Amino acid sequence: MTVTVHREKAHVLTLDSIRGIAAVTVVIHHVILMPTFLAAFPNRAWIDCAFFRSGGFLVDLFFVLSGMVMSLSYVQSDFGHFSLRDFMVRRFARVYPLHVVMLFVTLLFRLVRIGLVMAGIIVAVPTVFEVNNAYSFFLNVFLLHSLGFVHYLNWNAPSWSISVEFYTYLVFGVVVLIAQRLGSLGWLYVSALLLAAASWFTLAVILDKRDLGAQYDFGLLRCFTSFFLGVLAVKIVSLLPSAIRGANVYLLGAFQLASMVATVANVWLVEAYPWISFAAPLTFAVFLGSLLAFPNAAVVPPMLVARPLVWLGARSYSIYMIHAFVVLLAEYFVRALGARPVAALDAVYPGLSTTLNLVVVLAAVLVLSNLTYLHIELPGGRWTRNILGRIPKVSSSRAVPSARPSN
């Protein structure tokens, strides 16, 4: 019996930083569009603009990044030594501990809220996600809550993307396993192309969606589109000739900067032209692929390796997973605060109260995400891998590919 040992590929710091920036953008997106805040604050936040109002589409950037990272770790470096069981254990350990903790934190909050209402201490106020029932909780426990079993967001709402991404990992793992058994990387990339293209075509043409913003309904197809495009992006980067990779750093930097501007413009224009969201996965893949291909280019990479951005990147998953709960707490605080302090702050300068609320919420998210990263995400992942790693394997085998991938 051959023992498969997977060695994680070193992080690409520029990609990690982009993930952190995207996570913060999603937080800002949700804060500036939260109905409670829109009702409480008469003026917009100072940074309220089309880019942040459409910032939820950066979830697709997460999906592209995941496809790239999985390809780098399990295809480009370790093809021929892939174990589906080990892969899924690692993926489960990566996403589940924090997901289940936030699920139970949300449950506890709801139970406390019900108790306070019954005691007459607070007045019940309708909230956005009053569909937190036993059935949707059960689906959340098994990461099934965005696979079409319910038609609404529930509990820790942003976790819808974790639900679809986890089962995308499973599909990816099966594709890699089959390719390994066949000894054919070509089969793997053809499958990735078909999955990405078919998913995009289904959403854009067959289902005739207004935009790419599928979540609990066809979020899995949305994830397939971007994730497998990320897998293909890594392959395309690996095929770039050395002459291009070794081009002038300022020329490469100009290309990266242009692709970054195109990415920002794509998101910015979604509000006015929803259909343009269907191009977002491609613009994300081009920009992220350029960061992978040209790590020493001028302008963009030096900015992205700044320590604050690297810090954000490491905590991006925690930022994403805990921010909805912080926003929920902020909603109750703003209701309790009343209109008078808001009016007083806006009398100083219009939008001051809204902007201050955004700053406080964002600061709270960053502080709490650091705690969950250090005390839940990291140790929870290690603990889960250790526990599941002790379960005996039914069988293990590996195949030698017909050709090693180029790097």
Token representation of residue 23: 């996570």
Q: Is the pLDDT of residue 396 over 80?
A: no
pLDDT tens for each residue of 32-68: 999 889 888 999 999 999 999 999 999 999 999 999 9
Asked whether the CA dihedral 329, 335, 338, 341 is positive or negative, the reply is positive
Overall average pLDDT of the 137-163 stretch: 91
Q: Is the pLDDT of residue 397 over 50?
A: no
CB 165 within 8 A of CB 63: yes
Q: Is the pLDDT of residue 339 over 50?
A: yes
pLDDT for the residue numbered 382: 92
DSSP H helical ranges for 119-217? 134-141, 160-182, 185-201
Overall average pLDDT of the 236-262 stretch: 89
Out of 107-116, 121-130, 296-305, least confident range: 121-130
Token representation of residue 187: 């089969």
Q: Is the pLDDT of residue 2 over 50?
A: no
CA gap 101, 313 in Å, rounded: 21
CA gap 59, 44 in Å, rounded: 24
Local confidence band at 11 (pLDDT 50, 70, 90 cut-offs): low
What average pLDDT is seen over the chain?
A: 87
CA gap 351, 343 in Å, rounded: 10
Q: Is the pLDDT of residue 401 over 70?
A: no
Token representation of residue 330: 């902020």
Q: 146 — phi, psi (to 5°)? A: -125, 30
Token representation of residue 294: 């040209």
CA gap 369, 384 in Å, rounded: 20
DSSP assigned state of 375: I
CA gap 232, 193 in Å, rounded: 7
Overall average pLDDT of the 237-254 stretch: 87
Indicate left, alpha or beta for 51 from its phi (over 0: left) and psi (-120 to 50: alpha). Answer: alpha
pLDDT for the residue numbered 389: 73
DSSP assigned state of 215: -
CA gap 387, 398 in Å, rounded: 24
The DSSP line for 282-303 is: HHHHHHHHHHHH-TT-SSHHHH
The set of residues, in sequence order, having a beta carbon less than 8 Å from that of 189 and lying 6+ positions away, is 231, 232, 235
CB 215 within 8 A of CB 202: no
Q: Is the pLDDT of residue 286 over 80?
A: yes
Local confidence band at 4 (pLDDT 50, 70, 90 cut-offs): very low
Q: Is the pLDDT of residue 210 over 60?
A: yes
pLDDT for the residue numbered 321: 95
Overall average pLDDT of the 329-338 stretch: 87
CA gap 30, 52 in Å, rounded: 9
Can you tell me whether residue 350 is helix, strand or coil?
A: coil
pLDDT tens for each residue of 290-333: 999 898 888 889 999 899 999 999 999 999 999 999 999 999 88
pLDDT for the residue numbered 60: 95
Residue 65: closest CA among 6, 21, 7, 5: 21
Out of 68-72, 114-118, 273-277, 317-321, least confident range: 114-118
